[in-house]
């Protein structure tokens, strides 16, 4: 933080009145935007989780400290998002993470699936962290050789991790979702020229997206969730003019219900989901469909996983943790949700009538 304060004090020199902002005024505006952004929130769990330990482990440091991010870019460590040493606590994603020589020359970004993508341009540094921590390959490795509907004590929930928007935008190119064999999945979700990378849409300092970025083409919409081009009735409700976020949310809710039905009937242990408590899926002790505060604790984590259940739960969590997947890659989300429902329907009675796969 000291280096940010120093930079701020140097830049904040008085400027002559003029019609256009001076360089110092422009930089003050940038710093103020960053100070109000999630990247600067030094009270958040993302940057305080390791305070008691006194160091951030190398498996987490790349995305949860400026020291780790800069070290990874400087050495181009072979493992995506991982360095081989811990770093000190107390930093966030500060100016130096994006404004350093290594970040400026960063081109090809490796992903957990083994794929590397070189089309992010100036947003490449964003993809270092916003790519999740798992992939189809992770799930396949855990479930390989196991019977689809047999509970295995060797299985535990696999978390795709948080805000994996760079990976969801690339879809099947990096296989962030669990992709069922024999299915074809959407690759990179492209918009129009100049609106295809992270910083084309997001302010790189505040991280905000202005709706008027979209309303030139998507006229008459009041929010990002209202945007939709696909005329298909994906969720079978007869409505095709609601934003694409609506059928994604509907299929997501149906998948949660299907997971609960499968867990009860096949895994023989009721399950409940909590969006805030790790590892998110817990034994539903009272079978009310909700992970109550006393249930959403680690000792009560769900442990009756079958491969089929784990795959569906992984996709459920992926869609949950990319809160704007309806913008980043809506058809990929719909494909993952539909295929997860279809897979569960092979073992339990699910009504798939009217559902459509993009």
Angle, CA 223 vertex, CA 218 and CA 229 arms, to 5°: 35
The answer to whether 148 and 306 are in contact (CB under 8 A) is yes
pLDDT in tens, 308-324: 999 999 999 999 999 99
What's the rounded Cα separation, in Å, for the pair 208 and 33?
Answer: 9
Question: Which burial class, exposed, middle or buried, applies to 317 when counting CB atoms under 10 A from its CB (0-12, 13-18, 19+)?
Answer: buried
The 10s digit of each residue's pLDDT in 40-84 is 999 999 999 999 999 999 999 999 999 999 999 999 888 999 999
- pLDDT value of residue 67: 96
| pLDDT 10s digits, 234-248 | 999 999 999 999 999
Q: Who's near 303: CB < 8 A, 6+ residues apart?
A: 153, 156, 269, 283
Q: How confident is the model at residue 15 (pLDDT cuts 50, 70, 90)?
A: very low
pLDDT, residue 22, reads 87
DSSP 238-286: S--SS-THHHHHHHHHHHHHHHHHHHHHTSSS-EEE-SSSTTSEEE-TT
Q: Give the side-chain half-sphere CA count within 13 A for 134.
A: 21
- Residue ranges of the alpha helices (H) in 114-233? 124-129, 136-143, 165-170, 198-201
DSSP letter string over 316-357?
Answer: HHHHHHSTTHHHH-HHHHHHHHHHHHHHHTTTS----TT---
Query: CA 249, CA 77: separation in Å to the nearest integer?
Result: 37
> Residues of the chain with pLDDT > 70: what percent?
95
Confidence band of 31 (pLDDT split at 50, 70, 90): very high
Q: Which residues contact 247 (CB under 8 A, 6 or more apart)?
A: 233, 234, 235, 237, 334
Query: How far is CA 208 from each of CA 33, 71, 202, 316, rounded to the nearest angstrom?
Result: 9, 27, 5, 26
Running DSSP on this structure, what letter comes out for residue 59?
Answer: H
Burial of 179 (0-12, 13-18, 19+ CB in 10 A): buried
167 pLDDT more than 90: yes
DSSP letter string, 75-123? HT-SSTT--SS-EESS--S-HHHHSSHHHHT---EE-TTS-EE---GGG
For the whole prediction, is pTM greater than 0.85? yes
- Cα dihedral sign, 54-94-38-136: negative
Give the position of tokens 């993809």: 127
**Confidence check: pLDDT of 14 > 50:** no
The DSSP string of 161-181 is -S--HHHHHHGGGTT-SPPPT
Q: Which residues contact 283 (CB under 8 A, 6 or more apart)?
A: 269, 270, 271, 272, 295, 300, 301, 302, 303, 304
pLDDT at 203 over 70: yes
Please give the pLDDT value at position 252. 98
User: Which residue's entry shows tokens 């795959």?
Assistant: 311
């Amino acid at each position: 933080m000291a280096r940010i304060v120093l930079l701020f004090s140097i830049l904040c020199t008085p400027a002559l009145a003029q019609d256009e902002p001076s360089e110092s005024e422009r930089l003050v505006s940038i710093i103020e935007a960053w100070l109000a952004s999630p990247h600067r929130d030094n009270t958040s769990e993302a940057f305080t989780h390791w305070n008691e330990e006194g160091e951030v482990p190398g498996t987490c440091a790349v995305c949860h400290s400026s020291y780790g991010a800069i070290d990874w870019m400087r050495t181009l460590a072979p493992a995506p998002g991982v360095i081989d040493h811990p770093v000190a606590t107390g930093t966030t994603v500060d100016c130096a993470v994006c404004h350093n020589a290594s970040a400026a020359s960063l081109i090809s970004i490796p992903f957990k699936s083994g794929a590397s993508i070189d089309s992010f341009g100036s947003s490449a540094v964003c993809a270092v962290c916003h790519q999740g921590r798992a992939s189809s390959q992770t799930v396949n490795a855990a479930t390989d050789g196991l019977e689809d509907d047999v509970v295995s004590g060797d299985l535990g929930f696999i978390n795709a991790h948080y805000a994996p928007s760079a990976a969801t935008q690339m879809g099947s190119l990096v296989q962030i979702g669990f992709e069922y064999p024999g299915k074809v999945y959407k690759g990179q979700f492209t918009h129009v020229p100049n609106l295809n990378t992270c910083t084309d849409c997001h302010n790189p300092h505040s991280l905000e997206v202005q709706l008027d970025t979209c309303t030139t083409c998507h006229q008459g919409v009041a929010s990002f969730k209202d945007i939709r081009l696909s005329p298909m009735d994906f969720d079978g409700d007869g409505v095709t003019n609601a934003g694409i976020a609506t059928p994604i949310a509907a299929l997501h809710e149906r998948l949660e219900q299907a997971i609960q039905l499968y867990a009860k009937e096949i895994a023989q242990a009721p399950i409940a989901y909590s969006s805030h408590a790790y590892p998110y899926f817990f034994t539903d002790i009272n079978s009310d469909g909700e992970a109550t505060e006393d249930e959403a604790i680690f000792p009560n984590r769900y442990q009756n996983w079958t491969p089929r259940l784990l795959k569906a739960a992984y996709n459920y969590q992926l869609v949950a943790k990319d809160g704007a997947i309806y913008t980043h890659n809506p058809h990929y989300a719909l494909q993952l949700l539909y295929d997860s429902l279809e897979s569960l329907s092979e073992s339990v009675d699910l009504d798939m009538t009217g559902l459509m796969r993009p």
